[in-house]
Structure 1
Amino acid sequence: MVSNIRIYSREKAADHSADNAIAGAVEGPLERSCTDRDKDRIVVAPELAGIERIEARFRGKGFDLHRHDTYALGVTMAGIQTFRYRGASRFSPPGNVIVLHPDELHDGAAGTDDGLTYRMIYIPPERFLPATAARGRALPFVASPVVDDVGLARLLLEAFGSMGEAFEQLKFDELMAEIATALLDHAGAPQARAERLAQPEVLRACAFLRENIIRQVSAQDLEEVTGLDRFALARQFRRVLGTSPHRYLVMRRLECARALITAGESLAEAAFASGFADQAHLSRHFKKAHGMTPGRFAALAAGRA
């Protein structure tokens, strides 16, 4: 139950500055994630394949005791997050991960007068069933609801991404698998048995990705190509190439875009022809990979800089 908090949907919010700040929060300072620090609010992202994502900012008590039928996984962005869970008071400082299990009572409040900002993602348990089946395990139960895990925090922030941005299916599948694996590790699930190095299967996946850079590729596509399930393929891909299938696909798209830009194509045309949703999508990935915007690269390639 939410008390004294104004709820903003992305489509109906009168002030879109919070959306803009959230879109840059993963790459920028955490303090940018809420521009008006005097107002309590919840920013609700568009639905992502049945998964709800929010960013909340409030002072004092935010939520009365309630429960979800999903996993509630969050990252404390600023302030101290305090809540009652399984008979005890819990506290989470910035950067820590919150792991709340389905059907567990909890409330929520800011632990200091400075207020609290956090992000939470609500994942239906069935999303984790393929990963648990691969390990022969039940749904993961993490005993501590406050976890200091930089890797898991990064995965969750990546799942938020730009809260108004659509996810590619392959990227979404990978994130769900990695989050499930991290929870299983925290729950004490046994590690998977040593596997043979599946180099031929990984190379088939690479060839398929190179041939399909302009289309939406799913984990199911790669399962059919390689004969490996998505979890085994993700592990093998990292063992063989040190990266993920989605990252490999993005880098091949960037190679194509760089060649087109060097040849004099416009940024919009290069983005479309190399499989990016639009020029902004190209720009985000280009800067992450190359440390400069594609516009800057185009100027350098043309000798104008």
Structure 2
Amino acid sequence: MTPPDHRSNRSHPATSFEPIERVANRLVGASFSPHRHDTYTVAVTMAGVQAFNYRGAMRHAVPGQALILHPEELHDGHCQDEAGFSYRAAYVPPSHVQEVLGGAPLPFVTNGVSTNRALVAAACSIVIDCAGGEDPGAYEDALYDLAHAMNQEAGTVAAVKPVNRTAVLQAREFLDTVVIAGARLEQLEQATGFDRWQLSRDFRALLGTSPYRYLQYRRVDLAKNLLREGATLADAAYGAGFADQSHFGRTFRKTVGLTPRAWLRSDLFRTIVL
């Protein structure tokens, strides 16, 4: 859904993916005529109520839900009331989803709106967390979560494949050597000789987190040590491999539950695990 006054940007999430479009918009007293996209429309309503006709019924999307429109499905959009609504959206090509699912049928979220926690979280990651483009690996991670959450919502049962423990351990060892420089799934594939998306699945199955988030945890650990040694917030962010101090602050808070500055003032700062 892209009105005339939208603000959009294009980011390059990965060398193997073409850029995707994102929009942030507020709509008051206007409406979208029926239209369709050749991509998945992944959106979250930031405020108000977003109303739209989709697959023969009126739908409503409010904050806390994920709006997932299938490629080529006709839809419109309008305000539920005079207050209007604001939303953020990303247009994810089906080819990106196919990269993750490895040729499985594209998942179809029938109602177009979901309260599934995993899907809402994945949509927010794609639409909000990855919007800055400062950490390209974040898109790969969010795309994996989105594709599998859509599969779950659609009721698609994926075939169970054996886990490659050797490749996972090789990937973890490789990540431990590139905490500052970082690594993408393509590099992990080269390091292990194993398909990147299958490796991402197996990594989660064996270690309880994704390769991308494992790397973020190690970066936060490194930043903590730098801060304990007296580094400034900016130097700790740079020294641990974060794109900038803002990215460092967001990741630190997601991992620790406190901002770096608040952590420095807390007792946790003085707690060192031996």
TM-score, structure 1 normalization: 0.77
**Which deviates the most, 257-266 or 157-166?**
157-166
Q: Give the deviation of 1:184 after TM superposition.
A: 2.5
Pair 255,85 (structure 1): closer, same or farther in 2 beyond 3 Å: same
Contact 2:179-2:241 at 8 Å conserved across structures: yes
Number of the residue aligned with 1:108: 77
Q: 1:180 aligns with which of 127, 147, 150?
A: 147
1:270 aligns with 2:239: no
Kindly provide the amino acid, as one letter, of the partner of residue 208 in structure 2.
G
Q: 2:206 aligns with which of 235, 240, 251?
A: 240
**Which deviates the most, 258-267 or 287-296?**
287-296
Q: Indicate the percent of aligned positions where both proteins have the same amino acid.
A: 37
Q: 1:170 aligns with which of 124, 137, 151?
A: 137
Q: 1:132 aligns with which of 93, 101, 111?
A: 101
Number of the residue aligned with 1:80: 49
Unaligned 5+ segments in structure 2 are 14-18
Query: How far, CA to CA, are the matches of 1:81 and 1:296 in structure 2?
Result: 37
Pair 167,138 (structure 1): closer, same or farther in 2 beyond 3 Å: farther
Q: Give the deviation of 1:218 after TM superposition.
A: 0.8
Contact 2:168-2:202 at 8 Å conserved across structures: yes
Query: How far, CA to CA, are the matches of 2:58 and 2:167 in structure 1?
Result: 48
Q: Give the deviation of 1:245 after TM superposition.
A: 1.0
State the Cα RMSD in Å: 2.5
Per-residue CA distance 1:87-140 (angstroms, 9 max, x = gap): 33222333222221222221100112332222221111111122232xx42322
Contact 1:170-1:246 at 8 Å conserved across structures: yes
Contact 1:169-1:216 at 8 Å conserved across structures: no
Number of the residue aligned with 1:291: 257
Number of the residue aligned with 2:31: 62
Unaligned 5+ segments in structure 1 are 8-41
Contact 1:137-1:189 at 8 Å conserved across structures: no
Per-residue CA distance 1:208-238 (angstroms, 9 max, x = gap): 1110012131111111223332332222222
Give the secondary structure class of the aligned counterpart of 1:224: helix
**Equivalenced residues, count:** 263
Q: Give the deviation of 1:48 after TM superposition.
A: 4.4
**Superposition map of 1:1-305 within 5 A:** 7=5, 42-49=6-13, 50-133=19-102, 136-161=103-128, 165-196=132-163, 198-298=164-264
Give the secondary structure class of the aligned counterpart of 1:114: coil
Query: How far, CA to CA, are the matches of 2:129 and 2:245 in structure 1?
Result: 15
